[in-house]
Amino acid sequence: MLSATSSKGGNKDVSNGEIRVPFPEIVEGKIYTEEFLIAARGIVQIVDKLGKVFAPVKYDIQGNITKLTTKYEKNKQANATLQDMILTEKNTETNLIATDALLWLTRGLHMILLFLEKIIEDTRSSTPTEDLVAFLKKSYKEALEPYHGWMAQQLFDLLSRMVPTRSQLLRAIIGEENDVNDTVINDLEIYLTNLRENVSVIQTFYKAHNLENTT
C-alpha cells in the first residue's frame, strides 16, 4: 500500500510495495532540501520497478539527485531549502551545477507525475485500458520532449513501446502480493498531490528568476 506519512524523522525507503516518503509540504513558498531529496530517492526506487523503458529517466534522475546532494552537504544550513540553495549558487558562482540539476530533475519528476495521473484518471473510468503507450508519449511530449534533441526523442519513442500494461505497472509499484483496488488508487493519488505541488512550486520559482536556460 502507498503511505502518505511525513518524511520527517528519518530516511525511510520504498519497500514491500510501499511508498513511505511523500514529497515535503511547502513551507512559506519554500521546499526543504533534505526532505525533497529523500522523497526523490524514493521515486528512483519506484521508477526502477517500471521496466527498461524508464531506465534513461531513472539514471538521469539519479544523477541529478547526486549533484544536488553534493551541493547540499557542502553547507546544509545555507542550502536548507531548494530556493535558498539555487539563489545562493546563482549569486555567487558561474558554474550553476545545482541549478541545472534541479531543473532536469524537476522535468523528469514532471513526466512521471503526468504519466501516473493519466493512469489514475483512466483507471477510474468505466473502461480502463491496459495499453499505456499513448499516456507515456503524451507525458513525455509535455514534460521532456521540448528539451531533448532528435536522437533522444527517437530513443524514447522506441523505448515507449516497451512500457508495461496498466495492471503490470500498478502491481510493480504496490507489490505483487497486493491487489490493485480503489484504496491503492486513492493512496497513489494522495501521494501524487505533494509531488504535483513540489513540481509546480519549482517550475514557478525558475520562471520567476529566469533560471530555465542554465546551460
Per-residue pLDDT, 10: 40
Give residue 36's pLDDT: 98
The residues pairing with 32 across neighbouring beta strands, listed in sequence order, are 81
Instruction: Give pTM, 2 decimals.
Output: 0.87
What confidence score (pLDDT) does residue 8 get? 42
Which pLDDT score, from 0 to 100, does residue 35 have? 97
**Which grid cell sits at 46?**
519506484
pLDDT of residue 213: 74
Residues of the chain with pLDDT under 50: 1-18
Question: Distance between CA 139 and CA 162 in Å, rounded?
Answer: 15
CA distance linking residue 169 with residue 49, whole number of Å = 8
pLDDT at position 16: 40
User: Is 30 in a helix, a strand, or coil?
Assistant: strand
**Cβ(198)–Cβ(31) below 8 Å:** yes
The pLDDT score that the predictor gives to residue 152 is 83
Residue 19 DSSP label: E
Buried b vs exposed e over 4-39: b needs ≥16 C-beta within 10 Å?
eeebeeeebebeebbbbbbbbeeeeeebbbbbbbbb
pLDDT digits (tens, 9 = 90+) for 141-157: 999 899 988 888 888 88
